Chain A
Amino acid sequence: MTLAIDVSGLNKSFGDHRVVNDVALQIEKGHITGFLGPNGSGKTTTLRMLCGLLTPDSGRGTVLGLDFPSEAAAIKLQTGYMTQRFSLYEDLTIEENLAFIARVYSLDRLHERVDEALEKLGLQNRRKQLAGQLSGGWKQRLALAAATLHSPKLLLLDEPTAGVDPQARRDFWDEIHALSDTGITVLVSTHYMDEAERCHDIAYIFNGDLIARGTADELIRQSSLVTYEAGGPRADRLSRDLQGKPGIEMVSPFGPALHVSGTDRRLLEKAIEPFRHEPWRWVEVEPSLEDVFIHLMRTQSASGVSKAA
């Protein structure tokens, strides 16, 4: 197994605030890794450090076989970075934006590359259109085309599909998988569970700590979470009665149904016992990835509080 990213001891503080805390990250070459965690947990900062936009306070390792962070400039050349906010020039046309990127990377066959990219995007007819006039979905696809124009080996994507409609998101992910098939390593941050499930594996970061790592199935198994689903007429209304009972960590409505989860099976079953009768039907289900993440977040902040105390 070849690692595209292998860094450890990664730290970054802004003032007194420790944003990234001793993070170690290994990503296999050619994999798509989903980078998850609540807002402000350090995802963007980590991505920026990896592509040389921020200088880490400490941390070392290799990225694409190059020494990190001393060879940051060389890493930059082989890395494509797509920012959270659209960061191409809105007052330049689609074609001009791509040509600009091609030229700052001193790429050969400039016109051919730009034409190829436009063709792949399906934007040949709109090449003279200002980038600012594109819809959100098209902007993201253009940004991806720009980030991959110099054929990088590593792609860092920061919430690339935020605010984009489902069809455009699906198209976007098809492209990411197509890129991954050619051997490109992708690290992509997201808040969407369906996107997390499309990744080969997941890294979960919370308050600057990397707290979970593995495939979606592994994370679900590791969590040792037990989840029951209550069905029946307006089972979601049970939420109020179950909330806060010993053994019940999470109660979350799923439409008319209700998911109840906890790590202690005995306590959980005892807690739902009074409601296990008609008209409600209870079945044990596999916890969703979202349940797992919320569980991770809660247990981590609880331990954080106890540590602080």
Chain B
Amino acid sequence: MMGLSLSRILAVLSKEFTQLVRDRLTYAMIIGIPIVQLLLFGYAINTEPKHLPTAVLVQDQGDFSRSILASLKNSEYFDIVASVATPAELNRLIENGSVQFAITIPGDFTRGVVRRETPQILVEADASDPAATGPALSALAMLPQYALRHDLKGPLAQQGISKSPFEVVVQDRYNPENQTSYNIVPGLVATILTMTLVMMTALAMTREVERGTMETLLATPLRPIEVMVGKLTPFVLVGIVQATLILGLARIMFGVPMAGGWAALILGLFLFIVGSLSLGFLVSTVARNQLQAMQMSFFYFLPSILLSGFLFPFRGMPQWAQWLGSLLPVTYMLRVVRGAMLKGVGIGESIESLAALALFMLIVATLAIRAYRTTLD
């Protein structure tokens, strides 16, 4: 019998905005969480990891292999923690994760160098954490150029100049995709927005219930959708501020490129922000108190971080985990944001992910409005 009222929506909206501005803790959440997380995640993952545990299998008795081990150590990327006698042993160490690299120097290595046969060194890398192995592997590429500089003297001196005295063959195990650390920072846009937006709105209704103001709201002619739109709109602005902040910092502090793809990025962000806020609102209508709301939010954060492809390559996960991951909006947002920033893809190429985000938003918003109780029953 009553139509939707813009004035009532505006009433809730401006009330929320005033409360938001007055709440210092929320300020801290809006500005502080993105910065702290970006620094923590960004640097923790971007810092060149050094002193990675390495096992070696040296079948060569010559001097050159010793020089190579020495220069590996000097690079500071590799800590030789084990020297094994058989390939099986080497394999076991990398398989159970006790070393990040397994290096094999073949039996006739020194002789091969002398005979200009360009012998090969095999480096097997546990690339399941590509950000960890990446810098070490690029250091390896330089190895042939300088490792034997001091050894190749006299008649052998020519060898180092004309061509590499030996080759390094790198075999990535567990993650042939080998994603770079640029993947992480754009991914943070999606995960940080998930955490802050879901958490902030998860408290939106439970706070009203706990403070007793829900009774006032219910006694007025306000309708569920008016309350929802009024409550969520200020947080859309918050989400935009946060996204801008994160993208700006990603550029300034981590030098993440922006390959184009603005249209897909902005559309994706909008859908994702509204979807996450609606989810928070849904949580807050279901949760009985603020503690429950927080617990439910965390229950959602964990898979969002672990199964979305943020920390682990999506295709590297087992099938069941991929199915679960496909239910999470973060998964699609990650694809949109990485595609847009790193590959410069537009709306057309991201249409599947964008459609998934739109669908998520619609379903969750509908559920939230239906779950909103208009009485205290």
Binding site for B on A (CB under 8 A): 48, 51-55, 73-74, 76-77, 79, 81, 83, 85-92, 96, 100-101, 103-106, 146
Contact = CB atoms under 8 A, between A and B. Distances in A.
B12 A92 contact: no
A52 B377 CA distance: 10
Contact of B8 (A53, A103, A146): A103
A13 to B, nearest CB: 11
B15 to A, nearest CB: 5
B15 A96 contact: yes
B2 interface: yes
A100 B10 CA distance: 9
A53 B18 contact: no
B215 interface: yes
Interface residues of B, number: 28
B376 A53 contact: yes
B375 A53 contact: yes
Interface of B: 1-2, 5, 7-8, 10-12, 14-15, 18-19, 22-23, 211-216, 218-222, 375-377
B343 to A, nearest CB: 46
A53 B219 CA distance: 6
B241 to A, nearest CB: 21
A55 B375 contact: yes
Contact of A104 (B11, B215, B376): B11
Given A100-B11, A106-B7, A87 B221 contact: no
A76 B15 contact: no
18 contacts: A52-B219, A53-B215, A54-B375, A54-B376, A73-B1, A73-B2, A83-B219, A86-B212, A87-B211, A87-B212, A89-B15, A91-B19, A91-B22, A91-B23, A92-B15, A96-B15, A104-B221, A104-B222
Contacts of A54: 375-377
Contact of B215 (A74, A87, A106): A87
B8 A106 contact: yes
Contacts of A51: 219
A52 B221 CA distance: 11
A101 to B, nearest CB: 7
Contact of A100 (B15, B22, B211, B219): B15
Nearest to A45: B376
A87 B376 CA distance: 14
Given A53-B375, A54-B375, A83-B212, A103 B7 contact: yes
Name the residue in A53, A83, A104 with the highest tally of chain B Cβ atoms < 10 Å from its Cβ. Answer: A104
A155 B12 CA distance: 24
Contacts of A48: 376
Kindly list the 4 A-B residue pairs having the minimum CB-CB distance in the complex, ordered from nearest: A103-B11, A87-B212, A81-B219, A104-B220
A88 B216 contact: yes
Contacts of A53: 215, 218-219, 375-376
A90 B22 CA distance: 11
Contacts of A90: 211
A282 B15 CA distance: 63
A164 B331 CA distance: 55
A74 B15 contact: no
B219 A76 contact: yes
Contacts of A81: 215, 219
A77 B216 CA distance: 13
Contacts of B214: 87
A105 B2 CA distance: 12
Contacts of A85: 212
A86 B12 CA distance: 19
Contacts of A76: 219-221
A73 B23 CA distance: 33
B23 A87 contact: no
A104 B213 CA distance: 14
Contacts of B220: 76, 101, 104-105
A89 B212 CA distance: 9
A46 to B, nearest CB: 13
A210 to B, nearest CB: 21
A266 B71 CA distance: 115
Given A55-B377, A76-B219, A81-B219, A104 B12 contact: yes
Name the residue in B10, B12, B219 with the highest tally of chain A Cβ atoms < 10 Å from its Cβ. Answer: B219
Contacts of B22: 91-92
Contacts of A73: 1-2, 221
A83 B222 CA distance: 17
Given A48-B376, A54-B376, A55-B377, 10 more contacts: A52-B375, A53-B375, A76-B219, A81-B219, A88-B213, A96-B15, A100-B11, A103-B11, A104-B220, A104-B222
